[in-house]
Amino acid sequence: MKYVKWLNEVTIDDLPLVGGKNASLGEMTQELSAQGINVARGFAITSNAYWRYLDYNGLREKIKRELDGLDTQKTSLLREKTKYVRDLITFGKMPDDLTEEITAAYKQLCERYGDDTAVAVRSSATAEDMPDASFAGQQDTYLNISGIERILERCRSCYGSIFTERATSYRHDKNYDDFNVALSIGINVMVRSDLAASGVAFSVDTESGFTDAVLIDASYGLGEMIVSGQVNPDEYYVFKPTLAKGYNAIIAKRLGAKAQKMVYSDDGSDIKIVDVSEKERNKFALNDDDILHLAKWVVAVEAHYTEKNGHYTPMDVEWAKDGKSGELFIVQARPETVQSQKKLTELVQYRLDEEGDVIITGNSVGEKIASGRAVLMDSPEDIEKLEDGAILVTDITDPDWEPIMKKASAIVTNRGGRTCHAAIISREIGIPAIVGTLNCTEKIKNGQNITVSCAQGDVGFVYDGLLKYHKDVIDLSNIEKPKTKIKMNVGNPSIAFKTSFLPSDGIGLARMEFIINSYIQIHPLALIHPERVKSQVTLDKINSLTAGYENKADYFVDRLADGMALISAAFYPKQVLIRTSDFKSNEYANLIGGKIFEPIEENPMIGFRGASRYYSDSYKEGFALECRAIKKVREKMGLTNLTVMIPFCRTPEEGRKVIEVMEANGLKRGENGLEIYVMCEIPSNVILADQFSEIFDGFSIGSNDLTQLTLGLDRDSSVVAHLFDEKNEAVKRMIHMVIQTAHKYNRPVGICGQAPSDYPEFAQFLVSEGIDSMSLNPDSVMKTTLSVLEMEKKLNK
């Protein structure tokens, strides 16, 4: 055939002939099918057919004349001229020889897959899926098309879509000549994902550029809903290193709203959008086997293109699950276009300098901050309303919005997930976006001054007013490492991937209570004993948060494990010290359902907290859930770099009891490399450091609590706050003593308090005492590293 190529006849080298989509599908069909990877089936109508069609209808010169000197910023003129060109193309006549070839190829598909086989008619431009330009959604795709007449009609529409406003504007802005770009068309057998699920997957974290994770988005029905941003999908992270070792390496699962889905229509049209039942919405769209299966495929696709290109090539993959056969298919794969272009020797961090009132939150896209005047828009035709630098606030975007998006300093939408159109384009043009807020167009007023922050993790915040912020640029190319290990304190798992790029030796303190407070929100005993919760309002909150869980305690375990796994994976294989829950009784009481399970104490700071809770009959069931989550991360996910740290352990006897309880819950010290550290924050930990060394594998000094208990003052009391000083000689002597004793018994000692972050001279004191590691807040790592290096050089003179 002259104008048709079967996918198993083409490779990525045929991109000029069959366009990005078809070339990649052909490449995977030829190179990856042997590994068991299912690729969309069908044929390509070549770019030669496009030129044949234009020439047969005498359109080249007409199009050139119409678009000569086009200014894409003049939107009304752009709209008028591109519509004229599209009409010229769409209402042209298909040449007989081209018609015959397409008909013959479609007939072969029908012979193989059944009469009137339903296909997707997909544009595949010769200038799409480039490493530096995605051309995402620029040309049209049509789903569930049956019969040769309808296929030919949709092919003409595909040809016309190369001159939509969005595609023409995007091409011109990227300096691609209109006649250096041709359109191939893919005719692919439909995967019956209308009966199952579909989505996108990236072989790199789209926000941070972390390369060891696969990010998968999934929703019910045909995949256009996710790409267009019409649904908030499920989100799954899979960790590549432990996946390769055979573990269930799903390190995070987040349930999306999935309110609607796109399915086949039964009323004569191609497709329709229907509501998803509440039961389906409360379930994950993919099971664990499918998630892992898909992640392995994505890793294989990335490995193939990396080898072929001779350099690391992260990939953006579209997938679909067939509801009839249960099989997964890859329906598109292209290079990821944002993280792959970043400078690896430079870390850019945005930080807010002041606080403000939060108007609304959503999924953050990118890591930047922007402020400006909010402009609410319903349609891309209102482009004149948006002045340069304003913040676009709208329900949803599609490729028609792209000329507008380039004028905005940030974007906020009601709908969409992290892989929707608004997210893809905002990353590419380098502006922050917050998607999936549900009702930003109601909460934000037109003309209101707002600040959009995507610098605080996976939750994006829209603040009232123009808040001050700044940008730090850190050069990572020539950083000298000190002998003293520099670790980090991380509470929020959603910033773990981002902070992993800072030069460090792992995590010296990950606070479990942060994960419980933000990821779980419910008191563990309220999940174990819901019958004791008498308030219907409280029960409704619990049932809402735990939707889809028959056993409510499993919700606690899964969410806690996800949070710990994200942090452990980010720094793998470096050590990650995760401190078991260190809420005070009043803080536990503030969790949903917590008041009925907690005592009322006059001074909870030195009351029922830390180790004393874990073996107590009134809480050890809750601690058992913490142990289950730790066991899941270490043994099921394979993240054995997780080290457990016990807080506020008053006596060696308490330490032994906690060790026994942990062992009863499947966490035996020394087994599978499990180490258990103790916080050194009570004078008894220092005085009896020799005895604690027999029970625990290491110490981490908590300088805040050690200071208050050494000096006998409440650090929460404003009356005596002026006396609180980690640099006090009594505290320094305590630190000296514990380092000396611990080293005598070959136990490492670190510090995870705030003091070395705040006071360079204190960090230098710790170096002179021979401390093994310091764990710092991420924003202090570079400054303190330089201070430590300076002190080490002085000591070595």
Nearest to 588 by CA among 577, 573, 574, 599: 599
Q: How far apart, in Å, do the first and last CA atoms of the chain sit?
A: 79
Q: Residue 36 in contact with residue 42, Cβ under 8 Å?
A: no
The beta strands (E) that lie in 24-82 are given as 42-45
Cis amide linkage into residue 573, ω under 30° from 0? yes
Q: Hey, which residues are catalytic here?
A: 421, 752
Q: E strand or H helix at 234, and its extent?
A: strand 234-239
Q: Tell me the two tokens of residue 84.
A: 């004229």
Can you tell me whether residue 693 is helix, strand or coil?
helix
Contact 427, 190 (CB under 8 A): no
Kindly tell me the sign of the dihedral angle through the C-alpha atoms of 223, 229, 234, 236: positive
CA distance 262 to 266: 12
Q: What residues does 49 pair with on adjacent strands?
A: none
Q: Do the Cβ atoms of 727 and 766 come closer than 8 Å?
A: no
Rounded-to-integer distance, Cα 708 and Cα 731, Å: 9
Give the E-state strand segments of 56-145 in sequence order.
119-125, 141-145
> In the numeric block, which tokens belong to residue 574?
């470096």
- Nearest in space to 199 (alpha carbons), one of 189, 213, 185, 214: 214
> Phi, psi at residue 5, to the nearest 5°?
-130, 135
Q: How far apart are CA 69 and CA 730, in angstroms?
A: 78
Helical ranges in 572-616 per DSSP H = 585-589, 611-614
Task: Please provide residue 554's backbone torsions phi and psi, each rounded to the nearest 5 degrees.
Answer: -65, -30
Judged by DSSP in three states, 783 sits in helix
Inter-residue contact 314 to 203 (CB < 8 Å): yes
